[in-house]
Amino acid sequence: MRNESGFLARAGMRIADACERWFPDAFVFALAAIVVVFAGGMVVGVPAQKLAYEFGSGFWSLVNFTMQMALVIIGGFVVASSPPVARVTRRLAAIPKTGRGAVAFVATFAMLSSLISWGLSLIFTGLLVREITRRELRVDYRAIGAAAYLGLGSVWALGLSSSAALLQATKSSIPPALLPVTGVIPLTQTIFLWQNVVMALVLIAISIAVAYYSAPRDEDARTMPPQPEEGDPSTSLGMTAAATPGERAENSPILSIVIALLMFWYLAQQFLEKGGLAALDLNNFNFAFLALGLLLHARPRSFLRAVGRSVPATAGVLIQFPFYGGIFGMISKTPIAERLAELFVDITTKGTFPIVVAIYSAILGMFVPSGGGKWIIEAPYVMAAANTWQVHLGWTVQIYNAAEALPNLVNPFWMLPLMGILNVKARDLAGYSILQLLFHTPVVLFLCWLLARTLPFVPPHP
């Protein structure tokens, strides 16, 4: 009975119900963002003709990034659906014994894995949810789907896949105009700060508690609609008897293993040449996952079947990223960015700087949902202000990272791969994500401000 549920459970169900009615599809959200940015540009005096031109010019600016993101989904899916990993997923799915326990378990798994790789977190946790919802547990698919998304909506940018932290630690990746402002900031001064660890632990604890207590009771849970049964990976991915020489070649593990080892050899050279963590970028991440996928599937036929099954999950990314490229063009190639910079410097002081950076980064993230690309836009004036007010530069990067995750809880942009895997809509996940946002926002703002006071300023070092 709903009246016997706790306050958070009632709030979660009400917000989820409202979102199912009012929350649009992710593509509609993208189109609305274009209108908002276009209108904002006209308000600050940018001619409509200029905005239209930069929108069209920027439309294809994220093509490389789009391909990289599609391969993140494909690589993650291929690895996570391989026979060895699928067996692990099924064992993990058997751990939770209650619906609420399953939601908390998925939330924990999503956040911890996102500290290593947001791509792995999103795909592997999505497949874990599919396994859990096939069990005879009454678990609300909206609550557990939102829990699977928590890695992207909370702590991913505080971990090893932080685009901004990795960029600032790699001298060759820092734009020449930015280098004198920020210098090279090693990971020991960003993601490995004890302050960053504290922030991550606090957010993980709060997120798990909210996920658990907001999950509906068994009698109130709305279970996952029937999904197509895929069967055992060893049969569903093409592990059938070979009748012809061509089929025997497709089922032979020799080529897959040889090429996978060659790919890992290249990655080993990359890590040696770039000094370990500096080799972490999207290209090497995707390269590693494709190599691991080849190795785990062993047979080319199994690998290709997995790739084919992963492609539908990339549909949202493939069509929406170009539209976000247009938004990026309107902001970065017009006086909009300059006006924002002037306003930012005018309204900050040393005391308010961390809070203003966090709020600004979160708001801009609604329109430019790209951790690395958005940092390039913000860094010149944000870091210049940090130097002016003598705020620790590495912590400024982490303020950005912590706040950058907040809009992900509302903006369905990064939900797209998970939506494809679970066959759900953004409105299905948004209710419980918004509930998490209500708790995360004040905590992030407070910790950004408080922990900034514990770090001394160090001038930039090229």
Q: What is the pLDDT of residue 373?
A: 63
Q: Is residue 332 part of a domain?
A: yes
Is residue 378 over pLDDT 70? Answer: yes
Q: Which one-letter amino acid corresponds to residue 253?
A: P
Q: Is residue 111 part of a domain?
A: yes
Q: Is residue 459 part of a domain?
A: no
Q: Is residue 123 part of a domain?
A: yes
Quote the domain boundaries for residue 441: 2-226+235-452
Q: Is residue 91 part of a domain?
A: yes
Q: Is residue 462 part of a domain?
A: no
> Phi and psi of 104, rounded to 5°?
-65, -40
Q: What is the pLDDT of residue 236?
A: 45
How many separate domains does the chain show? 1
pTM, entire model: 0.77
430-442 pLDDT, tens digit each = 888 889 999 999 9
Average pLDDT over residues 364-369: 71
Q: Which one-letter amino acid corresponds to residue 82?
A: S
Highest mean pLDDT among 5-19, 224-238, 349-363, 436-450: 436-450
Q: What is the pLDDT of residue 231?
A: 45
107-137 pLDDT, tens digit each = 999 999 899 877 778 888 988 998 898 887 8
Alpha carbon distance 339, 177 (integer Å): 19
Nearest-CA neighbor of 204 among 140, 139, 153? 153
Q: Is residue 460 part of a domain?
A: no
Higher pLDDT, 209 or 27: 209
Q: Is residue 164 part of a domain?
A: yes
CA neighbours closer than 13 Å in the CB half-sphere of residue 323: 19
